[in-house]
Structure 1
Amino acid sequence: MPEALERIVEEILEPGVDWRRVLRRYILRHAREDYDWMKPDRRLLQHGIYYPSPRSERLDLAVKETYL
């Protein structure tokens, strides 16, 4: 195989962006946990402690890694 063609094939097969890093950054940014004062934490409520329950957004996300 000619060297120029080999370089082109290598560039195509080598990912330009690390999708794992991008996905991690997205999840950390969008799935921040927050607290809900309208719904007390059941584990602490039984001890007479009124504390908010943890709440986080639901992320519907699917990733499929494919190999050539």
Structure 2
Amino acid sequence: EYQVGSGVYYPIPNHRLPSLAPYAKGLELPHTEKAAKECLSLPVHPSLSQDDLERIVEAVNKLAKAGA
């Protein structure tokens, strides 16, 4: 069995989340903004089956080969 780590990815930079934005007024984080736009978040979770994981890998490989 694979030991797959999991985490949460927020497509909005943390300093722009409504709950945190009041504490970050005027804060500019261009690298954080860029990472939020370019980060690839995969649906990987410890409860996924082997078939699910293989389907995810297949889809990512297909996109990579297509140059996406």
TM-score normalised by the shorter chain: which range applies?
Answer: under 0.3
Q: TM-score, normalised by structure 2?
A: 0.23
Q: TM-score, normalised by structure 1?
A: 0.23
Between the two structures, name the one with larger relative contact order (CA 8 Å, sep ≥ 6). Answer: 2
Mark the structure with the bigger radius of gyration.
1
Report the structure, 1 or 2, having the larger strand content: 1
